Amino acid sequence: DGISLLSMIEGIETSRSGAIGFHCNGMQAWTENRYKIVRTIKTKKNPSREWELYDLLEDPFETNDLASTHPAIVERMEQAFTLWAESAQADEQKVLDRYHRSTNRSPRS
């Protein structure tokens, strides 16, 4: 579920046409052109299910968490992230089913 960023790299566009999600190594994020929500769901130090919210235009280094002052933005973005994550998980399962079927079958003689 990726998008090409080449037009941005080449300077043809200055913003993405849509949001993009990330889920890797216990981190989750949903990034729009202005806002980003992020949370750590697996860590030894400070696990949290709470989303942090950052205004990337005003705070590009993500130093000021706005989640408590803008809960409606967090909720809207969390809903979009959830839809994306469910779609990505379904796509991943299709790939596993298609390319790793041999692990589900009995060995051929």
Q: Which two tokens stand for residue 79?
A: 């809903």
pLDDT at 109: 42
Residues in a beta bridge with 40: 27
- Residue 47, CA atoms < 13 Å, CB-side half-sphere: 6
pLDDT higher at 30 or 47: 30
Starting at the edge strand that comes first in sequence, how are the strands of the sheet with 27-31 ordered? 20-24, 27-31, 35-40, 52-55
What digits encode the pLDDT tens for the residues 70-101?
999 999 999 999 988 888 776 666 666 666 66
The conformation of residue 90, written as its DSSP 8-state character, comes to H
pLDDT for 73 equals: 98
Q: What is the pLDDT at residue 7?
A: 82
**Measured distance CA(70)–CA(88) in Å, rounded:** 27
State yes or no: pLDDT of 106 exceeds 80: no
| Per-residue model confidence (pLDDT) at position 8 | 75
